Every structure is written in structure tokens, then in C-alpha cells.
């Protein structure tokens, strides 16, 4: 499939998902023009705030390919990824993101992620979500164990 066809599939999934009770988002992960996995937004259907189309597609592609490294794949998403999905895309090492609707388009229909970008730019003590570090002297032991582990799989 060419890029237009892959994007049209992501768009088709997003439209179909609205009819099936989900949000208006769809994603396709492809390698060399072949669809590896798809995902749709199922946040409210599954009561899972992480069930965005891109994250669902990444999970499916990783399982299908039996790897967490999707660096030989591209993602086609019906909308510019939110901060969570963008983070997941970076962690999965996808080599390129193609998107149709923009984050401004999403904001116009009530999917506004700008507050997250605004919060991330603030010092931690100025954010709306309180965060408090604790028991670091105990937790650091896991990091020390990881650092000294000879047979770890780095990611």
C-alpha cells in the first residue's frame, strides 16, 4: 500500500470507530507498505485513559512482531498525536509519523491537550498536579541493581 492508502485506512478506522461508540481517532502501523497493526480510540468503551489509537496500535504491533523496537515501521494516524501518544511513539522508535487532522482541529471539537504542554513547561512546584518525591534512598536500589546487571536488555 502507498502512504495515501495507509492514511485513508487510519481515517476509515477513525470514522468507523465513532459509529462503534469510540472516539474519532484511528492509527495504522506499517512496514514497507504492509499494515502490521491498527488501533482505534477506546478510552470510554474500555474505561482506559491510555486506550488511544496510537498506543493501541503500538501495543498490537509490538506483540505481532515480538519486539518493543518498531524502528523499521511508520505510523499513520488520523490526528496529530497527543503528548502521551507522541511519547509512546518515541519510546517505540517508530521512524516516521504521518497525521491527518491537527491538534488545533482536535481542540476545536473538545480534545484539547494544550494544558499538558503548558504544565510540562512549568517547574514541578508550579504545576496543577502535586508531585512529591519520597523514599528515594530505598528506590535507588532497583536502579543500582539494573546498572550492575550483566544480562539486561537495554531499551
Q: Active-site residues: which are they?
A: 54
The candidate with the shortest Cα–Cα distance to 53, out of 71, 80, 31, 33, is: 80
Which cell is 147 given? 546498572
Which cell is 34 given? 504492509
Angle formed by the axes of helices 83-92 and 114-121, to 10°?
70
**CA angle, 62 then 58 then 1, to 5°:** 95
Using DSSP, how many helices (H) and how many strands (E) does the chain show?
7, 4
Nearest-angstrom CA–CA distance, 46 and 146 = 34
Amino acid at each position: 500500500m502507498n502512504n495515501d492508502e495507509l492514511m485513508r485506512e487510519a481515517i476509515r478506522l477513525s470514522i468507523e470507530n465513532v459509529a462503534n461508540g469510540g472516539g474519532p481517532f484511528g492509527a495504522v502501523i506499517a512496514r514497507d507498505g504492509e499494515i502490521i497493526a491498527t488501533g482505534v480510540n477506546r478510552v470510554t468503551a474500555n474505561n482506559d485513559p491510555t486506550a488511544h489509537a496510537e498506543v493501541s496500535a503500538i501495543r498490537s504491533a509490538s506483540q505481532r512482531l515480538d519486539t518493543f523496537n518498531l524502528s523499521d515501521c511508520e505510523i499513520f494516524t488520523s490526528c496529530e498525536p497527543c503528548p502521551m501518544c507522541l511519547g509512546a511513539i518515541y519510546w517505540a522508535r517508530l521512524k516516521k509519523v504521518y497525521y491527518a487532522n491537527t491538534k488545533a482541529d482536535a481542540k476545536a471539537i473538545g480534545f484539547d491537550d494544550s494544558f499538558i504542554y503548558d504544565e510540562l513547561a512549568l517547574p514541578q512546584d508550579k504545576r496543577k498536579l502535586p508531585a512529591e518525591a519520597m523514599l528515594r534512598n530505598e528506590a535507588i536500589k532497583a536502579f543500582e541493581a539494573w546498572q550492575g546487571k550483566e544480562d539486561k536488555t537495554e531499551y
